[in-house]
Structure 1
Amino acid sequence: MAVIIETERLLVRSWTREPADLASIYDMYSRPEVVRWFGNMVPLSAPEQAVEVLRRWALRGSRDGWYDIWAVERRGTGQVVGTTMIKQLPGPDDRTLTDDIEVGWHLHPDHWGNGYATEAARALIDREWAHTATAQVYAVTDPGNEASKAVTRRLGMSYLGRRTDWYGGEEVDAFVLHRPTTH
């Protein structure tokens, strides 16, 4: 289990095929209140499906492992509270990756409202600014997902409007954060 980032309260780390991680994936993504914002994804209906989720996420990684989808764990407890990601956005055909970089998050409902999404996403954005020349980072949300829109505001992102040029042409609300200028 490789730790990518540590924050005050969280570890952002690789997902594993260990039973505890697979159980966390199943528990989170079997909940209708979580997956309702993911386009046409339906809740997982069997624990064995967590392995397939990990396989699909591995296919979304890019650029020599720099971009990926990771577990978010509370420091000192080992408790997984959600998922965070920074990755290339899929294009309008949903099979090719664009050069646009997306930050994202999915949290277990038991951990909503604690600031974990903002904390994990901020750490990934800071990592991006520190180690790449990326000019801007995007976030996309389902148009009805007010909680995720609130996270984008806390991150200081600007609303770009409705877009259909990512995720297979699905209509999403798009947000952007530009690299800070240094003086």
Structure 2
Amino acid sequence: MLRRWREEDKEPFAVLNADPVVMEHFPATLSREESDALAERVEVAFDERGFGLWAVEADGEFIGFTGLSVPRFTAHFTPCVEIGWRLARSAWGRGYATEAARASLEDGFGRVGLTEVVSFTAVPNVRSQAVMRRLGMTHDPAEDFDHPVLSQGHSLRRHVLYRIRRRK
């Protein structure tokens, strides 16, 4: 189930963001304060834009997020709307990321009225790239980029970019 965030989601979200395996393809794990601040930014985005990162619930438990956001950095493909996901390790391999991302894309192309959505990740993150392909997103290696927030030589700096357009 995709839904708006609740106060009780913050504790399992903080656990997820502190897990070094979940955060392997991010520059660092998040502290409880950083995790709570991210959850609050997500809710503000819903109020300001009418879309955001949905809380994902399975079997009555918060397992992470998926949805749409606007990147806060500048690159050759921005401004844009990105689809992303982050799930607890216990939820991996069950199809939740793909199912929830599909629903988010439908909402973005339908209710929100978007014509294109992108997704990107560090080159070594093959699991997320597999989700992107399952969603029907396409990759052009000429569009891959060095993430501007990560320093030169950082092992996660190089990113792949995938795109999907609304079907007419």
TM-score tier by shorter-chain length is: 0.7 to 0.9
Out of 137, 140, 143, the position equivalent to 2:123 is 143
Gaps of 5+ in 2: 151-156
1:87 aligns with 2:50: no
Residue 89 of structure 1 contacts residue 167 of structure 1 at CA under 8 Å; is this kept in 2? no
Residue 84 of structure 1 contacts residue 103 of structure 1 at CA under 8 Å; is this kept in 2? yes
1:4 maps to which residue? none
Out of 38, 42, 49, the position equivalent to 1:53 is 38
Q: Which has the higher strand share?
A: 1
Residue 118 of structure 1 contacts residue 154 of structure 1 at CA under 8 Å; is this kept in 2? yes
- Any residues of structure 2 matched to 1:121-140 within 5 Å, and which? 121-140=101-120
Identical columns (%): 29
Residue 82 of structure 2 contacts residue 119 of structure 2 at CA under 8 Å; is this kept in 1? yes
Equivalent residue of 1:139, what SS? strand
User: What TM-score, normalized by structure 2, do the two folds share?
Assistant: 0.82
CA root-mean-square deviation: 2.3
* Separation in structure 2 between the aligned mates of residue 66 and residue 52 of structure 1, nearest angstrom: 19
2:81 maps to which residue? 101
Instruction: Tell me the matched-pair count.
Output: 158
Residue 67 of structure 1 contacts residue 88 of structure 1 at CA under 8 Å; is this kept in 2? no
User: What TM-score, normalized by structure 1, do the two folds share?
Assistant: 0.75
User: In structure 2, do the counterparts of structure 1 residues 155 and 15 end up closer, same or farther at CA, with 3 Å as the change threshold?
Assistant: same
Gaps of 5+ in 1: 1-10
